[in-house]
Structure 1
Amino acid sequence: MRLILLGPPGAGKGTQAVRLVEKHGIPQLSTGDMLRAAVAAGTPVGLQAKAVMESGGLVPDEVVIGIVADRIEEADARKGFILDGFPRTVAQAEALDRMLAAKGLKLDAVLELVVDQDALVHRIVRRAEEARAAGQPVRKDDDPEVFKTRLAAYNRDTAVVGPYYEKTGRLKTIDGMQPIDSVSEAMNRALGG
């Protein structure tokens, strides 16, 4: 099963990905982790990425697609994978489709967690306040201003990926505001299981 998880930061993609990994026995692939692994392994694509990253630039789409292409050839990903955090743009989605087609593969589903973004911001603000009240440090991801910046970037750049997959008939939307177990059940139903 080859899946993509979409949704804004804080929507619960990471939580649901863990459950999908356990249920289906397929790996969750993070482009950040894959980039770091390719750089560490010194692969040709990793060396390209390293040069760009060291100069402070953004890794070009073709390099990221190359890293994804290499990673899905590994034994643990042969029966499927979950892409979380990729593709981030329509250009990346189109490049991913072309790469998969060249390998004779296709996506089984694109699951998008739909959430109330104002409620997400409120949840993050509350979590940060609770951490401070307990004398604990606030995680960088739970800093409300950092979160709002990430959310704005998602809305500006990545929110268009859902409609791209909707046009192709592969998008399945899930109400991400439900309790965690209900979201998992809805995902399983959307995947036919």
Structure 2
Amino acid sequence: MLNIVLFGPPGAGKGTQAERLKEKYSLVHLSTGDIFRANIKGETELGKLAKSYIDKGALVPDEVTIGLLKSEVEKHPEAKGFIFDGFPRTTAQAEALDTYLDANNSPITLMLALDVPEEELKNRLMERAKTSGRTDDADPAIIANRIATYKKETAPVADFYDAQDKLKTIDGVGSIDAITERLYEAIG
């Protein structure tokens, strides 16, 4: 089983690249952002709770996110593997994911971390706001908070997988195709 954590700050291109990896390797793409947005749109209790955090640029609490992700994994018992996009976002989430996947004999294979300079991230998010309808991508203050939150709370997750010798850092600047090729090469 091929289980990949696709990692990087907001605007790094995780969603775009996840779609390509999903097709090439026949993986199930689990995007916590998409899962949350679907729940927000459906006005579920989880969606309302998640929205209250997302609107401030903050992370949704671990227990909510982990429970939701486990239920999504269990919907795909025949999967050849998963791409975890936007998860784990904290070391506690990474530990919980490892415990859960190890219990199912399907550990994380590797973390692919997209490395993109901050100014490029801001430009990409502002451009995405024009077509996505995502208000959190249009406000420079929220963007700055999301990037700061990533640096403080999420970036340390890379150290967790680096300690397991599962981290591969990928240059996330250039054409979409060039970045995709770098990812394929890293997977091997």
TM-score with structure 2 setting the length: 0.79
Question: Which residue number in structure 2 is paired with residue 172 of structure 1?
Answer: 168
Structure 1 residues 76 and 21: CA distance shift in structure 2, 3 A: farther
Distance 1:118 1:35 in 2: 26
Distance 2:132 2:178 in 1: 31
CA apart distance, 1:121: 2.7
Cα RMSD (Å) = 3.4
Question: Which residue number in structure 2 is paired with residue 160 of structure 1?
Answer: 156
CA apart distance, 1:137: 10
Range moving further from structure 2, 85-94 or 59-68:
59-68
Structure of higher CA gyration radius: 1
Question: Which residue number in structure 2 is paired with residue 112 of structure 1?
Answer: 113
Task: Specify every segment of 5 or more residues in structure 2 that has no aligned partner in the other structure, as ranges.
Answer: 54-58
Structure 1 residues 65 and 119: CA distance shift in structure 2, 3 A: closer
Counting only pairs closer than 5 Å after superposition, residues 24-39 of structure 1 correspond to structure 2 as 24-34=25-35
Distance 2:168 2:150 in 1: 19
Structure 1 residues 39 and 10: CA distance shift in structure 2, 3 A: closer
Q: How many residues align?
A: 179
**What does the per-residue CA deviation read over 1:122-169, in whole Å, with 9 as the maximum and x for residues that have no partner?**
5556x49xx6xxxx9985213333211211111111011111111110
Structure 1 residues 39 and 105: CA distance shift in structure 2, 3 A: farther
Contact kept in structure 1, 2:112 and 2:169, CA below 8 Å? yes
Distance 1:83 1:123 in 2: 21
CA apart distance, 1:10: 0.9
**What does the per-residue CA deviation read over 1:16-43, in whole Å, with 9 as the maximum and x for residues that have no partner?**
0111112122221122444577899xxx
TM-score with structure 1 setting the length: 0.77
Contact kept in structure 2, 1:5 and 1:112, CA below 8 Å? yes
Pair 1:79-2:75 in alignment = no
CA apart distance, 1:113: 0.2
Range moving further from structure 2, 174-183 or 28-37:
28-37
Question: Which residue number in structure 1 is paired with residue 56 of structure 2?
Answer: none
Distance 1:65 1:137 in 2: 26
Identical aligned residues as a percent = 44
